[in-house]
Structures are given as structure tokens and as C-alpha cells.
């Protein structure tokens, strides 16, 4: 093993101190400076490629043994630099941008916004590469490091980085970004931590239900005003969803494989044989498990009259549809229109987002070369964990890379307890120092193991 050329713990403490919320130019400059200080070889030896329109994106190219003539497709390692705001900073045990090293339930930890999402993972990647550079290691194929600067606010810099790769004719062998983790307490009744690798992610689509007409003075209201019609439509959609008629409950392949791997027999085998029945059971079991198997609808923003004594001419309700792989924007819009027909509202698509394609994964029958490598690294560094593919509920920057690579995986090689997972975008986000070291070991194994 490589010695401690670089201390990921100290590097992360420094990185957390740069308050890289959306648009904070000075903070991104400070973060780049701290990373270049912590990882001098990475920034001196890898080629930095500019990303047009995204000055704070980092795109670094590491030439591999098979790379010069371009015969071996590269690996892309991703982790974003931006963070969401810390919310009520007084509610944190340690201040969110101080980079404090202090104990937690998981052991001595770095505390602060971004320690898990996603500066910890970024530092892990950079520390692994730095240590390998120090010993003169050359990867078997090219490696690109791509670090977006606006993942939490749309991810345009990742899209721009993909455009740069496309122009250079780069078609990655595999892409690895945040998403799954070595998750403790992930499923009731399953004791082993689950090392879940996202092989697809749901699409996020924004719809609007709009009711127009019959506004006026609140002293002479007409029946069936815009708000009443909207209410009818919302209730109709929620009822339809409760009856599980809104969308197929055929389990996605990744969820079926997850259940096969983690459920005790004969439940796992049953899930594989009767996916529709198991899908319906999971829908009934609660909101989290329902989201694992199907498209969901959430009612979000609303707008009506600005005055309590005026009936609006137009009112709307925002609907955020999270679309499961196998489903589509077109099919969801059609189902929504069918359910609200007769309610007197229009259905508008504000922002469509299709689910990502599903990357290949190993099953009981077949191995995928790249997925199997991820599993081997996990078996080596986290021998107590069960690896599995799964469907990512949230959106990641990596979805942009599905345009240039068929293997896009979402996995952070860090242990995360249930409490740690809840702290992402919440309070008291922290990562254990020992886990950072394990993350570096995992990434090192991956880079050494590249075919």
C-alpha cells in the first residue's frame, strides 16, 4: 500500500472552510487553492482542461498506459464542489464551515456542510490519485476527474464537461459519481451494510395544473372557481396514486436484483418470480419503499390570488413527478391528463426530465466487467458489506454522462450510517476520519484494478 502521502482528513477540513454555495466565486477560488495545496502532484501532473462557460468546474486528464493512442476507453471519476446552504447554523453541533475535527457516533469525524455531499468523496478521489502519482503509478487506461461546480443548482457545468469530452471523441468505459454508499441500517431486517451502486436514476419532471377563468370579486363568487377545480384535480390524482393505478409497478431490474441479493430466501426468489405482486406490496409498505418501485407525484408550489378578497383568474399547482426507469414523461403526462379530465384544469409540462438509462450490472448469471470491478473493490475494503445495484431516487451530475457512456455508476465508497444519510442537506453532516481512509483505499483498489 502507498504511504500517507496526503492526509485526506486535513485536506477535507480545509475544503469545508470554503463556503462553496451557488455562485460564490471567491469561495470556489479558495477551494481550488486549498485543493492544489493538499494535492500538489494532481494539479501539477494532470492536464487541466478548460470547460467553456464553467470557470469553476475541474476537468483533469490523467494519461494511462493504453491511453496515448486512445485505444482504451477512459474511466471518469466525479464529485461536485458546490454545497447547499447550511440552514440554521446555530442548530449544528459544530459550525458548518469551520472544518472541525471532533468525535461523533461514528468515531473521530470531520464536521461540516459537504463532508459527505460531496467534498468528502472529492477529497477521497484526489487523495488516491495523489498517492499513486507519488509512487509513479500509471493507470491501465486514461482517467478523467470531473468535478462540477453547480450540481445542487441544475448541473450545467457537468453538461459542459460532457461536451468537452464529446468534442475530443472521448467515450468513457465507465463513469463513477455520488449516489449510493456503504449504507448501514438501509433496510429493515437486513443487518449487513449495503454497498448500493446506482445503475440508473429517476427523471425529475415538473408539471403544472392550471385552472383558468371565473375569477372576480369574492363577494359574488361563481361555483367551480379556479381553486376549487384545482383542488378536485389534486384529490383525483392523489386518490389515483393511492390505488396504484398511476403507473406500472413492475419492479425495475435493479430493484429486483437488490431484493434477490439482500432478502432472506425464499423472499428474494419470490421477488424475482413475482415482481408485480412484490411491487404492489412495496407500494403499500410506505413512501420510501413505494418510491423505490414506481413513479411518484408530489404537489409542490401553488399560486392563486394575491388578495384574500379576490378570486384569481388563474391558479396553479406545481407537480414534481419522479419518473421510474421504464416509465416516461409522455406516459406520465398522458396518465395525469386522463385522471384530471373533467376537473377543468390544463396540464402543462414545465420541465421534462426522463429517467436515465440503466447501466449494465452483474446478476446471478452474468458479470459486467466494470460493475464486477466495483464489487471486488468493495469486497476487499468492506468485507462485511453486501454489494448491489439499485435505483437512485435523487438526481446527480452523472446523468449528463449517459450521453457519452453506457456505464454510469453512482457510488461513494464511504460508510454512511442512517443518521449520516439524514444529515445530507440537513444539520450535523459529518464523516469519520477512518472512513475517509477506507474510501481512499477503495479508490486506490479501483485505479490499480483497471483492466
Residues that bind Zn ion (CB under 5 A): 117-118, 178
**Running DSSP on this structure, what letter comes out for residue 363?**
-
Using CA atoms, how far apart are residues 363 and 176, in angstroms rounded to an integer? Answer: 19
Cell of 334: 398522458
Query: Any idea which residue has 476527474 for its cell?
Result: 145
Secondary structure E strands in 44-124 = 47-48, 58-62, 75-78, 101-102, 109-111
Shortest gap between Cβ of 18 and Zn ion (angstroms)? 16
Position of cell 451557488? 22
Q: Within its chain, how far is the Cα of 252 from the centroid?
A: 18
How buried is 363 (Cβ within 10 angstroms: 0-12 exposed, 13-18 middle, 19+ buried)? middle
For helices 25-38 and 119-134, what crossing angle results, to 10°? 30
CB of 336 or CB of 424, closer to Zn ion: 424
Which CB, 290 or 391, lies closer to Zn ion?
A: 391
The least CB distance from residue 118 to Zn ion, in Å, is: 4
CA–CA distance from 244 to each of 147, 250, 281, 293 (Å)?
39, 11, 11, 11
Give the nearer residue to Zn ion in terms of CB position, either 2 or 396: 396
Comparing CB distances to Zn ion, the nearer of 196 and 246 is 196
- Nearer to Zn ion by Cβ, of 14 and 178: the residue is 178
Minimum distance, C-beta of residue 114 to Zn ion, in the bound complex (Å): 9
Give yes or no for a contact between 414 and 439, defined as CB atoms under 8 angstroms apart.
yes
Q: Are 356 and 325 in contact (CB under 8 A)?
A: yes
Minimum CB–partner distance for residue 241 and Zn ion (Å) = 28
DSSP state of 327: B
Report in angstroms how near the CB of residue 412 gets to Zn ion at its nearest.
9
Q: Report, in Å, the least distance between residue 358 CB and Zn ion.
A: 21
What's the min distance (Å) between Cβ of 151 and Zn ion? 5
Q: How far, in Å, CA of 431 to CA of 204, rounded?
A: 29
Say how many C-beta atoms besides its own lie within 10 A of residue 310's C-beta: 13
What stretch of H or E contains 237?
helix 226-242
Closest separation in Å from C-beta 117 to Zn ion: 4
- Cis bond before residue 106 (omega within 30° of 0): no
Pick 106 or 118: Cβ nearer Zn ion = 118
CB of 121 to Zn ion, least distance (A): 8
With respect to Zn ion, which residue has the nearer C-beta, 79 or 373?
79
Q: 11 or 78, CB closer to Zn ion?
A: 78
Q: Which three cell numbers stand for residue 240?
A: 389515483
Cα(100)–Cα(108) distance, integer angstroms: 10
Q: How far is the CB of 193 from Zn ion (least distance, A)?
A: 20
Let me know: does 295 contact 324? Beta carbons within 8 Å.
yes
Question: Would you say 79 or 336 has its CB closer to Zn ion?
Answer: 79
- Taking the least distance from each CB to Zn ion, the nearer of 117 and 438 is 117
Contacts of 125 (CB under 8 A, 6+ apart): 77, 79, 145, 443
Distance of CA 286 to the CA centre of its chain: 21
| DSSP 3-state of 110 | strand
Amino acid at each position: 500500500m502507498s504511504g500517507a502521502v496526503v492526509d485526506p482528513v486535513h485536506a477535507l477540513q480545509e475544503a469545508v472552510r470554503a463556503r462553496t454555495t451557488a455562485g460564490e466565486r471567491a469561495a470556489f477560488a479558495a477551494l481550488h487553492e486549498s485543493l492544489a495545496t493538499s494535492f500538489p502532484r494532481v494539479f501539477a501532473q494532470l492536464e487541466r482542461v478548460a470547460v467553456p462557460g464553467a470557470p469553476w468546474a475541474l476537468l483533469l486528464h490523467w494519461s494511462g498506459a493504453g491511453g496515448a493512442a486512445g485505444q482504451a476507453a477512459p474511466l471518469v471519476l466525479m464529485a461536485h464542489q458546490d454545497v447547499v446552504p447550511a440552514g440554521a447554523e446555530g442548530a449544528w453541533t459544530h459550525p458548518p464551515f469551520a472544518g472541525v475535527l471532533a468525535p461523533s457516533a461514528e468515531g473521530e469525524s470531520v464536521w461540516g456542510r459537504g463532508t459527505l455531499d460531496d467534498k468528502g468523496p472529492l477529497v477521497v478521489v484526489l487523495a488516491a490519485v495523489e498517492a499513486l502519482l507519488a509512487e509513479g503509478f500509471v493507470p491501465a487506461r486514461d482517467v478523467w476527474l470531473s468535478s462540477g461546480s453547480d450540481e445542487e443548482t441544475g448541473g450545467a457545468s457537468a453538461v459542459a464537461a460532457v461536451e468537452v469530452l464529446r468534442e475530443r471523441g472521448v467515450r468513457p468505459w465507465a463513469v463513477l459519481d455520488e449516489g449510493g454508499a456503504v449504507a448501514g441500517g438501509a433496510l429493515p431486517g437486513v443487518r449487513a451494510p449495503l454497498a448500493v451502486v446506482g445503475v440508473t436514476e429517476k427523471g425529475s419532471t415538473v408539471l403544472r395544473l392550471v385552472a383558468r377563468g371565473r375569477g372576480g370579486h369574492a363577494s359574488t363568487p361563481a361555483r367551480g372557481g379556479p381553486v376549487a377545480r384545482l383542488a378536485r384535480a389534486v384529490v383525483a390524482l392523489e386518490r389515483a396514486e393511492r390505488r396504484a393505478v398511476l403507473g406500472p409497478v413492475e419492479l425495475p431490474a435493479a430493484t429486483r436484483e437488490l431484493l434477490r441479493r439482500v432478502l432472506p430466501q425464499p423472499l428474494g426468489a419470490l421477488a424475482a418470480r413475482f415482481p408485480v405482486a412484490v411491487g404492489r406490496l412495496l407500494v403499500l409498505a410506505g413512501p420510501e419503499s413505494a418510491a423505490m418501485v414506481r413513479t411518484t407525484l408530489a404537489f409542490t408550489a401553488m399560486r392563486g390570488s394575491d388578495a384574500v378578497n379576490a378570486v384569481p383568474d388563474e391558479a396553479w399547482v406545481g407537480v414534481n413527478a419522479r419518473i421510474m426507469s421504464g416509465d416516461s414523461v409522455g406516459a406520465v403526462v398522458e396518465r395525469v391528463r386522463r385522471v384530471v379530465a373533467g376537473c377543468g384544469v390544463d396540464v402543462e409540462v414545465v420541465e421534462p426530465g426522463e429517467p436515465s438509462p440503466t447501466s449494465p450490472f452483474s446478476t446471478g448469471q452474468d458479470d459486467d466487467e466494470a460493475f464486477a470491478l466495483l464489487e471486488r473493490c468493495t469486497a476487499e475494503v468492506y468485507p462485511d458489506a453486501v454489494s448491489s445495484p439499485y435505483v437512485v431516487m435523487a438526481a446527480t451530475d452523472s446523468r449528463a454522462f449517459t450521453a457519452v457512456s453506457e456505464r454510469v455508476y453512482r457510488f461513494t465508497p464511504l460508510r454512511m450510517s442512517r443518521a449520516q444519510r439524514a444529515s445530507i442537506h440537513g444539520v450535523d453532516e459529518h464523516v469519520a476520519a477512518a472512513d475517509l481512509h477506507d474510501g481512499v483505499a477503495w479508490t486506490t483498489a479501483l485505479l490499480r484494478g483497471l483492466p
